[in-house]
Chains A and B, each alone.
Chain A
Amino acid sequence: MRVAQFDQWAEKVVRGFASRTSRRSVFTLLGGLLAGAASVPLLPMARAADAEPGAADPNSGQAPPQDRGNPQDPGDPTKCDYWRYCAIDGSLCSCYGGSVNSCPPGTEMSPVTWIGTCRNPADERNYIISYNDCCGGVVWGRCACHNNQGDRPIVRPSANNDITWCFGTKSQSYTCSTAIILGAALAQK
């Protein structure tokens, strides 16, 4: 279509519209569109995707499940029965906007940590898990989880998981714990 033809077609359409439509009806249409657009955000809709990953639902206090569907790493890191938590003692960072490997925003990961092993049900092998604490955030007390596999009495502090490991961080206030895999443990002979 050449430019002249397009001009003729456009003029025809506009003139036809003007001959069939009053100014008042155009204003009515525009007003309706404006009012309708303003009401769209008020309609009920799922907002889970807007929330920070792992953040708790403000109404129920429950964190959304984080099962990533990884057959090598089965389970939900927001639940205490997740396999990496076999020796954790504290709150789960997955429930605070962090994850099993990372701290929530506004907290700092402790450079020193308590380390244990847990058996992965996917391959029935033991993995070395570092339970780095995240420090300096708000303490909400959500998703408390106390498992004590391999825990030793307080007289052996390096193998005791009751200790808050917020050393070497700006704040010594405990927020939650991660469970980071350091490697596969050697098979026991």
Chain B
Amino acid sequence: MAASAAAVGAALLGGPVRAADTAPAADDTPPGVLSAELAWQHWTLNCQGCHRPDGSGSPATAPGLAGTVARFLSVAGGREYLGRVPGVATSPLSDADLSEVMNWMLWRFDREHVPANFQPFTAAEIGELRRRPLRLEASQVRAELLKKADESAGP
């Protein structure tokens, strides 16, 4: 299915589709995700426009995720931050769909920083976190959490 979708896309584009833009392989389904293809589609339609296909983000729009996003899981308050950042908390996705996108995104963009004991986000947890969205303080909270993550990682 994913391969056929990519093939059709490539045929319509008249050239190869960039790897980061293509739907994931069906067997690359991370924990806490029922359908990686559906999670990819939700990500593409709701998040990718600003965070960019490779998760690199941009200073002018949305912070980068690649190589960073799962680092929040290793510091106190980081997991809650991920469910409260404005882009997540105000997403039009349902709690269930959003929790799958979160789990897929951590796997897709920062697998190496996902802790071994990571428990996937659930719909109930995301539903609770997004009711308390961060607003203007989000960037400051982010900077403090990343500083803590740097300190705990050591030199």
Contact = CB atoms under 8 A, between A and B. Distances in A.
Interface in A155-187: 156, 158-159, 165, 167-168, 180-186
B13 A181 contact: yes
Contact of B49 (A101, A113, A127, A181): A113
Contacts of B37: 186
Interface stretch (B39-47, B129-137, B140-148): B39-47
Contacts of A183: 5-6, 9, 17, 21-23, 44
B113 interface: no
B41 A186 contact: yes
Given A127-B9, A183-B9, A112 B41 contact: no
Contact of A167 (B11, B17, B23, B60): B60
A111 interface: yes
B52 A182 contact: no
Interface string B13-28: 1100100011100000
A116 interface: yes
A91 interface: no
B21 A168 contact: no
B152 interface: no
A115 B50 CA distance: 10
A72 interface: yes
Interface in A94-125: 101, 111-117, 120
Given A73-B12, A127-B9, A158-B50, A182 B58 contact: no
Interface string B54-94: 00001111100000000000000000000000010000100
Given A168-B58, A186-B41, A115 B5 contact: no
Interface string A84-99: 0000000000000000
A145 interface: no
B49 A182 contact: no
A144 interface: no
B45 A116 contact: yes
Q: Which of B12, B23, B41 has the most CB of A within 10 A?
A: B12
A180 B38 contact: no
A111 B58 contact: yes
A101 B5 CA distance: 18
Q: Which of A113, A181, A182, A185 has the most CB of B within 10 A?
A: A182
Please give me the 5 A-B residue pairs with the lowest Cβ-Cβ distance, nearest first: A184-B5, A167-B60, A168-B58, A183-B9, A115-B49
Given A101-B13, A120-B12, A182-B44, 11 more contacts: A70-B12, A70-B14, A111-B52, A112-B49, A112-B50, A115-B44, A115-B48, A158-B50, A159-B46, A182-B21, A183-B23
28 contacts: A72-B8, A101-B13, A101-B14, A111-B58, A112-B60, A112-B61, A115-B45, A116-B45, A127-B9, A127-B12, A128-B44, A128-B45, A130-B49, A158-B49, A159-B46, A165-B49, A167-B61, A181-B12, A182-B9, A182-B17, A182-B22, A183-B5, A183-B6, A183-B44, A184-B5, A184-B8, A186-B38, A186-B41
